[in-house]
Every structure is written in C-alpha cells, then in structure tokens.
Amino acid sequence: MNTLRNQIFIGFLLVMLIIIGVAGVIVYEKVSYLLKNNAERHIHQTAIQASGRLDALIGQIDSLTAQVANHATVQQLLLKQIDGKSVTFNQRQSLLQVVSSYQAYMPSVGSLELYTSDYQLLFPIREGSLSTRIDSRYIEEANKQKGRLVWIGIDPNDDQSLLAIRQVSLMNRWFSRGGYLIARIQRSYFQLDDPLAGATIGESILLANNEGQLLGSGPSPNVDLTPLLDSVDQTVNFMGKEYVTVKQLSEKTNWTLLVLTPVSYVTEGLSVLRTVLLASGGIGAVLFLIMSFVLSTMITRPIINLIRAMRKSRLGVLTPNPATASTMELRELNNTYNGMVSNMNDLIRVVYEKEVLQSRTELKALQAQINPHFLFNTLEAFNWSLEEKGEEELAGLMVAMSRMFRYIIVNPNKEEWVTIGEEMDQVKRYLQIMEMRLGSRLSWNIEMTPQEALVPVPKLLIQPIVENAILHGVESSIGEGYITIRVSPSARKGWTRVSVQDNGPGMDANKLSALYDTLEGGPSISTKGTGVGLINVQKRLKLYYEGDGLKLEGLHIDSTPFEGTVFTFEIPNTGGYSYEIEHENHSNRG
C-alpha cells in the first residue's frame, strides 16, 4: 500500500466502483419510479372504471326499487293502510305477481320486502316488524332522504346478502310517507373482478363499508378491511402479501372501492433491470481493473528508475538518468533531474574553490566585531574621570546611561522577560536622563505596589510608552509637564493594569481614530520620531500574551484635547503565552 502504483491502482478501482454503484443506484431508482408511476396510473384508471361499473349496478337497483315503490298496486295498498282500512290476504297476495315480474329482470335481487308506515311487514305474507329487521338509524336516514335509496350493508339474517331501503312516497297524498321498501341483493352482484383468493397477477377489487366489512365476494366473508381503510401508505401488507392500493369512495353508497395490485406484478421488470445493471457493472469493473494496472505501471516505472538514480547520488555519484519515459510530463521530470545533477556538479566545484576565501572573510569579520563591553567600560571610565573632577551630576548621568545600555543590549544567553519592578528601574533611569535635558519642564511619579513589581513582562514594554508621552505630551506643551505611571491590580482577577498619563495637548476624536488605525497597521500619523514605538508595543502585547484561546485588547487610549492622554493596557500576572514557553525551555535547560 505504500507504493505509488498500488495506491493509483486501488484509487482508480475504488473511484470506478463508486461511480458504477452510484450510477446503478440512480438508474435503478429512476426506472423503479417510472414503473411504479405507470402502474399507479393504470391502477387509478382501473379504479375509475370499477367505480363506474359500481355506479351502474347501484343505478339498476335504484331504478328497480323506484319502479316497485311507484307501482299502482303498491301505492293503492299503502294508501288504504294509511286510511285505516284493512288489507286483505288476497290483496297482499297480489303483490307477489308485481314483485316477481320485476325480479325476473334482475335475478340478483333475492327478495323485496314491503313495510307499512308503522313498520309492519306487508309483503311477504308473514309476521314481521321493520324495527326488528334493521337498525333504527337506517330508518331515520330513509326518512331524511325522502324516497332516495339508502344502502344498509350486510343483511343481519344472511351474511351472503346486502340490504337497501327506501321510503315509499304516496303520489296521491302529496308524496307523504306511505311505507318502506327493502331490497335484499346477493353479494355476488357486486363482484367487480375475480376473487382475491388465488390471484397472482393483475388487480383485485374489493368493496367495503365504513366498518371495514367486505361487501362483495372475497377470500373470507368476515375479513376485516379496516387496516386497508385506515392506512395512509400506498403499499400495504394484506393476507401475507404486499399490495399497491388505491381507494375510491362511492358518493351514492358511501362505500369504499379498494383496488389491490401485487407489488411483484408492479415491479416485475425490476429484476431484469437489476440483473443487467449488475452484469454491466461487473464487466466495467474488470475492464477498469486492467486499465488501472496498465496505467499505474506506465506512470511508476520511469519514477522507479529515477529513484534508483537518486539513491546513487547519496553515495556521492551524481550521474544523469537516461530518459526512459514515454509521457511528456515524466520526460520533463527526468530532464529536470539531469539538469539539477549538472548544476550540482558545477556548484560543488565552485564551492570548493571558494572555501579558502570564505574562511578568510569570516576571520576578518570576527576581528571587526565591536564588543558591547567595550562601550560599557568606556562609560565607566568617563564616570570615574568625572567623579575625580567633581562633576557628580554628569557622573550620575554616565552611570544611568551605562545601566540603560546594559539593560537594552540583549545577552543571547539571557531571557527576554523581566519583572515590572526591573522595567520600572529602567524607566526611572530614562526619566532621570530626560530631567537633565528638560529641566524643570518635566516632573514624574511612579505608583506601584510590591506585589505588582513581581509580575513578569517583556523587556522594554513600558519605556516606549513613556518616551511617546514625553515626545508628544511634555515637549509639545508650553508649560510644565508631568508623567504619572501607575501599576495596579485590574478589575479582572489575576490581571495587572498599567497606565501612563501625561498632561500634554491631547487628541481630538479624528486624530485618536487615526492613531488606532496606525496601531492596527495603518499609516503613521507621527510628525516626530519614527512613529514605531507604540506599534512595537501593540504587536508585542499581541505576540506575547495571545494564545491558547486568550484574546488581548492591547493598548487602550483615552485622550481629551488640552487636557492630556492616558495609555492603558492589562496583562495576566502569570505572564504570556510566549513567556510560559520560554520559562519551560529555560527550566528544561537548567
């Protein structure tokens, strides 16, 4: 796996397998979606046709019962019964001929039952009551429909039959209620296709009422179709098989038409598609496997030859590698290597010739170096000479300058960090020298507690701010100037606050904004000095103290025109990020 050829070979193969897999999945999903959509459209069309057939069958029953209800004999007998006259046996017997004549046209109608308005059975000739025959809610619904056919469902006395009721309106009595006509229809009348039992392909159509009862013929008269009615999924599991279902509600009967199609029938073309995709993917993977092996070999063979030539160079033999690559890129790589070998041989010769000259130059450079201690010793000699002549003030100035130079010049073996107390000593020496220059124009004060004097800071972090206060504050003022340096605990626990205040001319809002831009890397606004002191302090604060999630605000400036300026910054008492690293390294060296 560490060789380039194997990595190229396996990488190309994995990419090809991923592409083939993704393409196969997408094609499979798209084709499956199209097949299912076509099947769904076909099923919906079947449901619409079945609903039309159901409406036609219901229309026939409605027409038959309406003719019976409006027959003159039926109307006459019910009218007579409403008037309180008794109906004779022969008159009831005459209804047999009327009913038989209509049943001859529709053998599926098993029987017709005629009841009076007070729910007594009038035909067939036997004892019976409508209130015991059907539920009272169907009687109330028939009264509301005023002559329209109301479908009841399965006959309580015969589970192979369905019942429908309609109110008989008396045409000679302003269509008032005269009685009720019940039609008993065989369930096979509503068989819209082949029974579900034994069906392997194609659609199966079931008719169900709101209670989930199967109204037409089916696998079992008592099968519960409630799960199919309540399901919101298009694919359902019914009697151990998966079906794609479509529901169609009949407005005339309030029954639901269920069209069930086996999923295997809908997706029978997917198995062929799956086989084709697997076969084509396998062939493509084998071909790409061979191509990847050949291509990886063509790429890596010239590189291996070049590696062998480079290994010889480690033994001191810089020889060109003969061009063996067949591709432009590898030939260019080989030519570049040969050019590098030629240049290296030339450089080795040149370096060898210049070694003696380089050694002599370094020797002269060492002899010309200035030793900082020479400067310190010279200042000490001035100090002794001035003391002998009684110039104690100038002698003190020489001592202050000597100590300043010793503090500023960094010993490479000494750390860059000092305490605030040491930094304040340096600031005092600088202010003493400035007093010699400015005289009575400068007064200064340092406020610091012993605890804060022990806080570590980078060397020369505070002195540039004091220099800036003197240059732009005291020297720019006409009268007496003062500098106040305060080192105090911060409002944040574990932090120290350092501020340098002067009574100089101050700055307006525009100049203060320009100074903040300068600290962030913008153009300098200083007309005195180099203008890099405050920028250096800002950068060092960010450099030394930011890290490990610690965010430092840096210098904060408060300035009022004609009143002065205050520079403030806050640092953690434990030192900054860089200090911690240097302290750890110093401890390791100790």
SS3 assignment, position 289 = helix
Average pLDDT over residues 254-278: 75
pLDDT tier, 499 (very low <50, low <70, confident <90, very high otherwise): very high
Place of tokens 């008032």: 176
How many secondary structure helices (H) and strands (E) does the chain include? 17, 16
Average pLDDT over residues 555-574: 91
Average pLDDT over residues 202-222: 72
Q: Count CB atoms within 10 A of the CB of residue 499.
A: 18
Q: Are 145 and 135 in contact (CB under 8 A)?
A: no
Average pLDDT over residues 434-442: 81
Q: What is the pLDDT of residues 350-405, one digit of tens each?
A: 666 556 544 444 444 344 344 444 455 555 555 566 666 666 666 667 666 666 66
Distance CA 62, CA 102 (A): 12
pLDDT at position 61 is: 86
Of 464, 402, 401, nearest to 436 (Cα)? 401
| Angle formed at CA 332 by CA 326 and CA 335, multiple of 5 degrees | 105
SS3 assignment, position 589 = helix
pLDDT at position 199 is: 42
Average pLDDT over residues 501-505: 91
Sequence length of the chain is 590
Rg (CA), the chain: 55
Distance CA 126, CA 569 (A): 113
Q: Are 516 and 524 in contact (CB under 8 A)?
A: no
Average pLDDT over residues 76-105: 83
pLDDT at position 369 is: 40
Higher pLDDT, 425 or 580: 425
pLDDT at position 556 is: 92
Distance CA 502, CA 577 (A): 31
pLDDT tier, 557 (very low <50, low <70, confident <90, very high otherwise): very high
Q: Are 215 and 162 in contact (CB under 8 A)?
A: yes
Q: How many CA atoms lie within 13 A of 169 on its CB side?
A: 13
Of 436, 445, 437, 443, nearest to 396 (Cα)? 436
Distance CA 452, CA 464 (A): 20
Higher pLDDT, 219 or 145: 145
Higher pLDDT, 526 or 574: 574
pLDDT at position 200 is: 46
Which CA distances in Å does 318 have to 292, 310, 324? 34, 8, 18
What integer best gives the mean pLDDT of the chain? 77
pLDDT at position 227 is: 82
Place of tokens 């504050």: 473
Residue 194 has pLDDT above 50, yes or no: no
Q: Are 172 and 75 in contact (CB under 8 A)?
A: yes
Residues above pLDDT 70, as percent of the chain: 76
Q: What is the pLDDT of residues 286-317, one digit of tens each?
A: 887 787 777 777 777 777 777 777 777 666 66
Q: What is the pLDDT of residues 447-480, one digit of tens each?
A: 998 899 999 998 888 988 998 898 888 888 888 8
Q: What is the pLDDT of residues 579-588, one digit of tens each?
A: 554 555 555 5
Residues above pLDDT 90, as percent of the chain: 8
Q: What is the pLDDT of residues 21-74, one digit of tens each?
A: 888 788 878 877 777 677 677 777 877 887 888 888 888 888 888 888 888 888
Average pLDDT over residues 165-178: 86
For the entire predicted model, the pTM comes to: 0.43
Residue 420 has pLDDT above 70, yes or no: yes
Residue 253: what residue type? T
pLDDT at position 58 is: 85
Distance CA 461, CA 538 (A): 9
Alpha carbon 258 to its chain's center? 42
Residue 162 has pLDDT above 90, yes or no: no
Average pLDDT over residues 410-439: 78
Please list the helix, strand and coil fractions of the chain in percent, rounded to the nearest 5, in that order: 55, 20, 25
Strand partners, 186: 161
Q: Are 271 and 32 in contact (CB under 8 A)?
A: no
- Ramachandran quadrant class, 84 (left: phi over 0; alpha: psi -120 to 50; beta: rest): left
pLDDT tier, 94 (very low <50, low <70, confident <90, very high otherwise): confident
Q: Count CB atoms within 10 A of the CB of residue 241.
A: 14
Residue 412 has pLDDT above 50, yes or no: no
Average pLDDT over residues 143-162: 85
Higher pLDDT, 130 or 551: 130
Three-state secondary structure string covering 451-491: HHHCCEEECCCCHHHHHHHHHHHHCCCCCCEEEEEEEEECC
pLDDT at position 352 is: 64
Of 538, 567, 540, nearest to 471 (Cα)? 567
Q: Are 536 and 467 in contact (CB under 8 A)?
A: no
pLDDT tier, 198 (very low <50, low <70, confident <90, very high otherwise): very low
| Angle formed at CA 38 by CA 33 and CA 42, multiple of 5 degrees | 145
pLDDT at position 355 is: 65
pLDDT tier, 577 (very low <50, low <70, confident <90, very high otherwise): low
In a 10 Å sphere around its CB, with 0-12 CB exposed, 13-18 middle and 19+ buried, how is residue 138 labelled? buried
- Token pair listed for 82: 């409403």
Query: Residue 181: which H helix or E strand, with range?
Result: strand 176-186
Higher pLDDT, 527 or 416: 416
pLDDT at position 327 is: 64
